Amino acid sequence: MTFKALFAGTAIALTSTIALAETHAETGNPMVGGAAMFPEKNIVENAVNSADHTTLVAAVQAADLVETLSGEGPFTVFAPTNDAFAALPEGAVEDLLKPENKDRLTEILTCHVVAANAMSDAISGMIKDDGGMHEVETVGGCTFTVSEGEDGTIMITDGQDRTANVTVADVKQSNGVIHVIDGVLLPAVE
């Protein structure tokens, strides 16, 4: 490849990136997984474009939750990244994606969904109003505790006393909001 061809390709890529960033800046939404998130699209329409959420999207499809999460809402989705799923014990994700484990997968996924449009400032307010911790009821019947770290990061403690941090907050959707998290939330062991 010649220097001229390399330079031309780089210039095109840079121009495309700048155009995407300018277009994305108009949405007021953070980028997620290298993709623009558009507030006029629903949770599923945006999630499928995130390179960081391919495992979550596959799980939502396996659990037959695409139609639900494309619905009117409002929903707040705490969206674990691929790395969060990879941190589960070896083979856990593969097992959950098996058809015979659909009920368990559905339970886990719906424990990441709250039937409200809860932006981070509202969550922070609830935490402060409750003296530093606030219990959250999920669509899946889980009760989790949200709190804030010293740096203001919202943290969610699941039913197994594991904590996930919100790494990207307030990704507006047409049917709610996504908060990207660095852990998979699990229900309490019965």
> pLDDT, tens digit, for every residue of 37-51?
989 999 999 999 999
Query: What is the model's pLDDT at position 51?
Result: 93
Q: Report whether 139 contacts 36 (CB < 8 A).
A: no
pLDDT for 31: 87
**What pLDDT is attached to residue 27?**
62
Which CATH code fits 31-181? 2.30.180.10
* Model pLDDT, residue 28: 76
Domain ranges of the chain: 31-181
Q: Which amino acid type is present at position 169?
A: A
pLDDT score for 72 = 92
- Model pLDDT, residue 49: 92
What order do you get walking across the sheet with 113-114 strand by strand? 113-114, 75-80, 176-181, 163-173, 154-157, 143-148, 133-137
Which letter, b or e, does each residue of 113-135 get, where b requires 16 or more Cβ atoms within 10 Å of its Cβ? bbebebbbeebbeebeeeeeebe
| pLDDT score of 5 | 39
User: Which positions of the chain have pLDDT values less than 50?
Assistant: 1-24
pTM of the model: 0.84
Distance CA 170, CA 39 (A): 10
